[in-house]
Amino acid sequence: MTTNGRDKSAERRPVELYTGSERPYDPEDLVKVSGREPTPESLAWARRLMDEEGPGPAIERYLP
């Protein structure tokens, strides 16, 4: 029996877990996870960071 009192789990969990960099994202995503507003300047910053560090390391800096 599960914690919800039934034989089956109340929720379906994903088969694969993602940390963030496995899926494609764009500069606006990076700006938002860094806590900034998506302005032309912050989007340019995100593009530069993604070009310099690579997409994975850039986003993983801000995601747990």
Give tens-digit pLDDT for 17-56: 555 556 778 899 899 989 999 999 999 999 999 999 988 8
What is the model's pLDDT at position 1?
A: 47
Closest to 24 in 3D by CA, of 52, 45, 55, 46: 55
What is the model's pLDDT at position 12?
A: 64
Domain boundary assignment for the chain: 27-60
Query: What would you report as the CA-atom Rg of the chain, rounded to the nearest whole angstrom?
Result: 17
Distance (Å, whole) CA 9 – CA 26? 35
Q: How many CB atoms lie within 10 A of CB 45?
A: 16
Distance (Å, whole) CA 8 – CA 55? 39
The confidence band for 8, taking pLDDT boundaries of 50, 70 and 90, is: low
| DSSP E strand boundaries for 1-64 | none
